[in-house]
């Protein structure tokens, strides 16, 4: 699917019917409003390398670094947004491919800030492809939607049945320490994940929709008392998923825990999903790191360094 086909498909979503006005400053998806990033990792002479890199501002990756002492063969790439955040009318597309037997870690330089909007919306389309025996940790930092913002993220995952993908979405309720009406004060947040095998076999679809003034947000089984949440998908072979399942304990805590997390099985034997909610970002980070550590140990036989990315 071409870039413009992706953009047109998102434009047709019914949730966006009320957010089609053009920004007066610059038209949506105009010059300078479309960020593109393509990363390709392959195995060369026994080492995983970033062999394909294409970038269009405001998205930027400079080079792959190898500074994980526990897994020195792992190329690490940080996605940089030189625009300082996502604005109304912005359209981003990110494509990541990991070749047969290769591995990689992709993250972001900082939080993904969705700025306040008075027209249109912002969107992001991602495609992640893992070939046979490959391994990818794609764990961007938190998404922070500001008051009155509208953001859609549409992600397609294509994973070989012998590969392992750890993909995460972590989201805050807004700038909760900025002012009172920032907590879930955004107009729309829609994230979609569709996973399949290379032969087209569908594995699962995940869809999360949050709209302003939705009273169910503070239900006990949703976000009651918590302001941060994470959905972390691990698509991996069944034997590895079973080992992770046996090691990953449910964290429910006492009367008023800082964070709650649990793991569920994905449909069609695809793997596992971690769901976590917490009071602050660091509470949820700790739960994600706990899951991440177990996934890497079981899938690759390596652990995480004592200090790695998230503290």
DSSP state of 266: P
Residue 307's pLDDT is what? 62
Helices and strands, counts by H and E, the chain: 3, 17
Residue 311's pLDDT is what? 44
Residue 253's pLDDT is what? 67
Predicted structure pTM score: 0.93
Per-residue tokens: 120:
């249109």
Q: Is the peptide bond before 58 cis (omega within 30 degrees of 0)?
A: yes
227/279 Cα distance (integer angstroms):
5
282/119 Cα distance (integer angstroms):
33
Residue 46's pLDDT is what? 84
- Give tens-digit pLDDT for 208-219: 999 988 888 877
Which regions in the chain score pLDDT beneath 70? 1, 253-254, 307-311
Question: Helices (DSSP H) in 49-187: which residue ranges?
Answer: none
φ, ψ dihedrals at 33, nearest 5°: -105, -5
Domain assignments of the chain as residue spans, ordered by start = 3-218
182/309 Cα distance (integer angstroms):
27
- Give tens-digit pLDDT for 136-167: 999 999 999 999 999 999 999 999 999 999 99
Residue 269 in 3-state DSSP? helix
Residue 9's pLDDT is what? 82
- Give tens-digit pLDDT for 111-136: 999 999 999 999 999 999 999 999 99
């Amino acid at each position: 699917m071409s870039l413009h086909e992706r953009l047109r498909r998102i434009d047709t979503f019914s949730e966006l019917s009320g957010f089609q006005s053009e920004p007066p400053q610059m038209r949506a998806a105009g010059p300078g409003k479309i960020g593109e990033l393509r990363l390709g990792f392959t195995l060369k002479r026994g080492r995983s390398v970033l062999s394909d890199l294409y970038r269009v501002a405001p998205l930027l990756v400079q080079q792959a670094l190898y500074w994980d002492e526990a897994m020195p063969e792992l190329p690490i790439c940080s996605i940089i947004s030189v625009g300082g955040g996502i604005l109304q009318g912005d359209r981003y597309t990110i494509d990541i491919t990991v070749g047969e037997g290769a591995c990689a870690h992709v993250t972001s330089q900082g939080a993904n800030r969705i700025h306040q909007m008075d027209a249109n919306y912002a969107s992001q389309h991602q495609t992640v492809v893992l070939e046979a025996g490959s391994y990818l940790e794609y764990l961007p930092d938190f998404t922070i939607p500001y008051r009155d913002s509208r953001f859609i993220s549409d992600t397609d995952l294509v994973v070989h049945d012998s590969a392992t993908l750890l993909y995460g979405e972590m989201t805050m309720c807004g700038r909760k320490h900025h002012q009172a009406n920032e907590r879930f004060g955004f107009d729309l947040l829609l994230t979609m994940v569709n996973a399949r095998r290379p032969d087209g076999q569908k594995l699962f679809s995940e869809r999360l929709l949050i709209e302003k003034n939705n009273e169910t947000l503070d239900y006990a089984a949703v976000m009651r008392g918590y302001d941060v949440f994470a959905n972390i998908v691990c698509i991996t072979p069944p034997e590895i998923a079973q080992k992770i399942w046996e090691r990953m304990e449910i964290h429910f805590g006492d009367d008023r825990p800082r964070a709650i997390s649990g793991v569920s099985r994905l449909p069609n034997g695809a793997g596992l999903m971690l769901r976590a909610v917490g009071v602050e970002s660091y509470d949820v980070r700790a739960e994600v790191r706990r899951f991440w550590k177990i996934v890497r140990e079981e899938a690759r036989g390596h652990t995480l360094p004592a200090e790695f990315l998230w503290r």
